[in-house]
Amino acid sequence: KNSAKKVLAAGAVVCVESEIRGEVTIGARTVVHPKARIIAEAGPIVIGEGNLIEEQALIINSYPENIAPDSEGVEPKTMTIGINNVFEVGCMSQAMKIGDNNVIESKADLGRNMILTSGCIIGACCQVNTCEVIPENTVIFGSGCQRRVQTERPQPQTLQLDFLMKILPNYHHMKKTVKTTSAVTPAKN
């Protein structure tokens, strides 16, 4: 398990205080705040470009509930996360497939069997644990997890990402990124 490789593409800004366990690939221009946790237990996690993962967010590829961690014949499934997503403070996501331009607001809770397409917004404190594909541009909000469809997808947070990529290295140490994408060497930590 110690040979799990972490590939942080050049241009990714990942703070040292964040916890990254297992086989994780992070794309360019993605910002991972301190105290964010990305845990790849039951399989690798691939995160695309331009994502914003804020403090105390938890992205975890965990075993399904009825399978013990050490049982035989369990194939590791990869969790994929697309580009320009925002994981706000304190959210937890176990969804195996997340598309582009989604926003998961603070303290939201996504179950393992969800699939987010594009432009979805999961509102603050909403716990969604159904087995379905959320259609594009859906907004889930409110204490009863009401849904509606919005006409325009949320904008990518380019301004915020640029600002953070400039300011965060002034105050935090960053994890090492690979120089070129072809050379995949196991990084320390």
Partner 1 sequence: MASLLQPDRVLYLVHGEKKIRSPLSTLYFCRYCSELRSLECVSHEVDSHYCPSCLENMPSAEAKLKKNRCANCFDCPCCMHTLSTRATNIPAPLPDDPSKTTMKKAYYLACGFCRWTSRDVGMADKSVASGGWQEPDNPHTQRINKLIEYYQQLAQREKLERDRKKLARRRPYMPLAFSEKYGLGTRLQRQRPGAPITSLAGLSLKEGEDQKEINIEPAQALDEVEPLPEDCYTRPINLPEVTSLRQRLLQPDFQPAGASQLHPKHKHLLIKRSLRCRKCEHNLSKPEFNPTSIKFKIQLVAECQVLLTLTNPVENITHVTLVGCEEGDPEDINSTAKVMVPTKELVLAGKDAAADYDELAEPQDFQDDPDVVAFRKSNKIGFFIKVVPQREEDGDVTVSFKIRHDFRNLAAPIRPSEEGDAPTEAIWLTHHVELSLGPIIA
Q: Rounded to whole angstroms, how far apart are CA atoms 119 and 115? A: 12
CB closer to partner 1, 48 vs 154? 154
Q: How far is CA 110 from CA 64, 124, 129, 130, 132, in A?
A: 14, 11, 6, 9, 11
Q: Does 91 bind partner 1 (CB under 8 A)?
A: no
Among 42, 92, 121, 122, binds partner 1 (CB under 8 A): 121
Rounded least distance, CB 121 to partner 1, Å: 6
Rounded least distance, CB 124 to partner 1, Å: 9
Among 148, 160, 167, 184, binds partner 1 (CB under 8 A): 148
Q: Does 63 bind partner 1 (CB under 8 A)?
A: no
Residue showing tokens 């990529």: 165
Q: In this structure, which amino acid lies at residue 146?
A: Q
CB closer to partner 1, 42 vs 140? 140
Binding track over 125-144 against partner 1, x by CB under 8 A: -------------xx-xx--
Size of site (CB under 8 A) for partner 1: 14
Residue showing tokens 């697309």: 82
Among 37, 77, 107, 147, binds partner 1 (CB under 8 A): 147
Among 72, 143, 152, 183, binds partner 1 (CB under 8 A): 152
Q: Does 151 bind partner 1 (CB under 8 A)?
A: yes
Rounded least distance, CB 165 to partner 1, Å: 24
Note whether 9 and 26 are within 8 A (CB).
yes
Rounded least distance, CB 42 to partner 1, Å: 33
Q: What is the DSSP string of 19-82?
A: EEESSEEE-TT-EE-TT-EEEESSS-EEE-SS-EE-TT-EEEE---TTS-TT-TT-PPPPEEE-
Q: Does 86 bind partner 1 (CB under 8 A)?
A: no
List of residues contacting partner 1 (CB under 8 A): 121, 123, 138-139, 141-142, 146-152, 154
